[in-house]
Amino acid sequence: MSDAESAADAGFDEWLDAAEDGEAYALECANGHGSLPPRRVCPDCGSTDLEEVALPETGAVQTFTVTHVPTPAFEEDAPYATAIADFGSVGITGQVVGVDPGDVETGMTVELEITVSETTGERVIGFQPV
Ligand SMILES: [Zn+2]
């Protein structure tokens, strides 16, 4: 693994730590484009002037898919719903937890819940409906 890759991984781990403590944040450029770490450059406009801003406590499900036949890495977790939720300026992809996948709806209000994949044991972003 290159130095750049390990720095990137550390950045996201730190973000997961912050999210677990209820201190999730986004990186925003002066144009209001949001993204998640690790970033040094805005993915929308290329700005390198990124500022940490606190994420709203809740987000809204924008779109989702229900997976019944997962990839092997997630086979113990199926069926599950994967959603993209808007948290202010940033869209976050995560697995909806604590609810039957059939009950997930567009526009549903969710909060971040850092969870552990039953298959890989790694931390992943989850969404808990509120
Ligand atoms: Zn930008």
pLDDT in tens, the chain (130 residues): 444 444 445 588 899 999 999 999 999 999 999 999 988 899 999 999 999 999 999 999 999 999 887 677 777 777 889 999 999 999 999 999 999 999 999 999 999 999 988 888 899 999 999 9
Q: Which CATH number fits domain 56-130: 1.10.10, 2.40.50, 2.30.30, 2.130.10?
A: 2.40.50
* Token pair of 44 as six digits: 């929308």
- Taking the centre of ligand 1 as the mean of its atom positions, its distance from the CA of residue 11, in whole angstroms, is 19
* Token pair of 30 as six digits: 């002066």
- Taking the centre of ligand 1 as the mean of its atom positions, its distance from the CA of residue 40, in whole angstroms, is 11
Task: Delimit the domains of the chain by residue range.
Answer: 1-55, 56-130
Q: For residue 110, which phi and psi values (nearest 5 degrees)?
A: -135, 155
Q: Which of 44, 40, 19 is nearest to 94 (CA)?
A: 19
- Taking the centre of ligand 1 as the mean of its atom positions, its distance from the CA of residue 7, in whole angstroms, is 22
- Taking the centre of ligand 1 as the mean of its atom positions, its distance from the CA of residue 123, in whole angstroms, is 28
